[in-house]
Amino acid sequence: MKTVIITGASTGIGKACALWLVNRGWRVFAGVRKQADADALTASDARLIPLILDVTNADHIAAAVQTVTAEVGADGLHGLVNNAGIAVGGPMEYIPVDRFQWQFDVNVTGAFAMTQAFLPLLRQGKGRVVNMSSISGRVAMPFFGPYAASKFALEAMSDSLRVEIAEFGMWVSVIEPGRIATPIWEKAHSQTSNMFDGLPDEMWTYYEKPLKRLLGIIKQTHGPSPDIVAAKVEHALTSPRPRRRYLIGKDAMAGYLLTWLPGPIRDYLAKGAFQ
């Protein structure tokens, strides 16, 4: 039986991947941060194995390595899906440094620490790493600066690692969804509104229109079901020819096309999106 670990499996894409893969015969270790989410996961499918795993907590990661090692033995690990993520947005001029740091702690350093900790087991199993990036890992829109920066970093890490470990029979893929209907939008909306409450009023003088637009954009939870992402994750884990990058959704394709345009036109269109 093949074994995979998925971080951030309490909701959204991570949960969809966990259910998708367990239904296709994988042994799935599903990372969650709260016992209640662990209980909910096993209630939805008793085959799932929850791990209490905050990717910013070194003790949690070390305990997860011990648990998984004890379970898989010499077979090693076949997949690690670094999915856990948060989204911090706002004007670069005002976002508090600790918020920016938090964005990187979870989306970048968390994925890095998980990958490093599980590489020995992945080497044993000739496993694959699947990193959950975003179209924001290709195009940095205004007012999504910290989030886009974290996904650009994740893409860079993935490219470096893939070439470093390919000779050991391992592989790294990056998943780049556009907008998907998950709780991340609601969470980002409430966290961003709370953050704005603590920032100087002058921020609104300079950025009122785009910030209202930003809050409007992140308020809506729409988009395709996370299952379309889970199907691509399965491809990345199982295909004899896994891709380096999986763009998912029409908006992701449109975003990707933007990268081919001359800089002034890109900037004009990016500005227009917040008018």
Ligand X SMILES: NC(=O)c1ccc[n+]([C@@H]2O[C@H](COP(=O)([O-])OP(=O)(O)OC[C@H]3O[C@@H](n4cnc5c(N)ncnc54)[C@H](OP(=O)(O)O)[C@@H]3O)[C@@H](O)[C@H]2O)c1
Residues making contact with ligand X (CB under 6 A):
7-14, 31, 33-34, 53-56, 83-86, 106, 110, 132, 134, 177, 179-180, 182-184, 187, 223
DSSP three-state, residue 131: strand
Residue 108 carries which DSSP code? I
243, amino acid identity: R
Cβ distance to ligand X smaller for residue 11 or 67: 11
DSSP three-state, residue 174: strand
For the beta sheet containing 245-248, the strands, ordered from the edge strand earlier in sequence to the opposite edge, are 49-52, 27-32, 3-6, 79-82, 128-132, 171-177, 245-248
Residue 68 CB, shortest distance to ligand X, in Å, is: 16
Cβ distance to ligand X smaller for residue 69 or 221: 221
Residue 169 CB, shortest distance to ligand X, in Å, is: 26
Cβ distance to ligand X smaller for residue 179 or 207: 179
Residue 136 CB, shortest distance to ligand X, in Å, is: 7
Cβ distance to ligand X smaller for residue 33 or 128: 33
Distance CA 270, CA 139 (A): 10
Distance CA 108, CA 84 (A): 10
Residue 167 CB, shortest distance to ligand X, in Å, is: 28
**What is the set of active-site residues?**
147
Place of tokens 């209980």: 39
Distance CA 45, CA 72 (A): 20
